[in-house]
Amino acid sequence: MEIAFTAVFGLVIGSFLNVVGLRIPIGESITSPARSYCPSCKHTLGSLDLIPVLSYAFSLGKCRYCGKRISPLYPMIELLTGGVYGWIVYQHGWTFAGLLYGIVFSVLIVVCVSDWTYQLIPDAVMLPALVLVYIGFGLLQGHWLMHLIDLSSGAILITVIILASRGGMGEGDIRLNALIGLLLGWKLMLVSFVLACTQGSLLGGYLMLRKRATRKTAIPFGPYLAVAALITFFWADPLLFWYNRFLLGI
């Protein structure tokens, strides 16, 4: 019952995270207007339009007021949040650790929305999250210096790539990977980064084959980092086996 309740609660939070990811990067308030609105016709949505996942399904993915298609990103984020929250409670229960992981994954989900939509990772979300999560992990586990090393390793990796490639990634990716390093530790952060690059390469290759992108097309990397971090956190052991077996030949 706790897991089911948390998963349903996560659907509702996922709807809110959509709002955060869409409004914060463009300087809009997340409280005013209090209700969400259609991005096409700007019509304020009613209660029937705001039921997580179900409203999208019943409306066949279209706005009831203007008939324009609604991005499937909305229900996908709601389902992802519900699933992640349920899994966290399954693994850690209603504990301080579970709360911290919930905060981290909420930030990762906001990044997926904002970077995919605007190619922007907002500092207003990332900087407070880094400070809060670092303090939280320090209080929970101790090892303050090790957590600082993990955080720094994530930031340094992206910084080196930016300097070596003279661009290609943004400062937001530095802070995002710092948070991922803090979450996973520097070793699993490397595994997560390889997975993110693999995902990005596969999708980029697919888009080029379909002639929907070229080598110069800008593709946001934040969602790949975030999704790879989620996968690595929940399935670290199979990923380590794959990483050691196929990449390192161990």
Is it the case that residue 145 has pLDDT exceeding 80? yes
Determine whether 94 is exposed, middle or buried from the number of CB atoms within 10 Å of its CB (0-12, 13-18, 19+). Answer: exposed
Counting Cα atoms < 13 Å in the Cβ hemisphere of 19 gives 18
Most trustworthy range by pLDDT among 97-111, 154-168, 207-221? 97-111
pLDDT band of 169, cuts 50, 70, 90: confident
Is it the case that residue 101 has pLDDT exceeding 80? yes
Q: What is the mean pLDDT of residues 90-97?
A: 89
Q: What is the mean pLDDT of residues 60-89?
A: 90
Percent of the chain past pLDDT 90, that is, above it, reads 48
Determine whether 204 is exposed, middle or buried from the number of CB atoms within 10 Å of its CB (0-12, 13-18, 19+). Answer: middle
Is it the case that residue 247 has pLDDT exceeding 80? no
CA distance 151 to 148: 5
State the pLDDT at residue 46: 80
* Prediction pTM value: 0.87
Q: Which residue has the higher pLDDT, 159 or 206?
A: 159
State the pLDDT at residue 34: 64
State the pLDDT at residue 121: 92
Is it the case that residue 33 has pLDDT exceeding 70? no
Inter-residue contact 10 to 101 (CB < 8 Å):
no
pLDDT band of 148, cuts 50, 70, 90: very high
Is it the case that residue 210 has pLDDT exceeding 80? no
**Mind listing the pLDDT tens digit for each residue in 4-26?**
899 999 999 999 999 999 999 88
Continuous H helices in 24-72: 54-58
Is it the case that residue 172 has pLDDT exceeding 70? yes
Q: Which residue has the higher pLDDT, 60 or 135?
A: 135
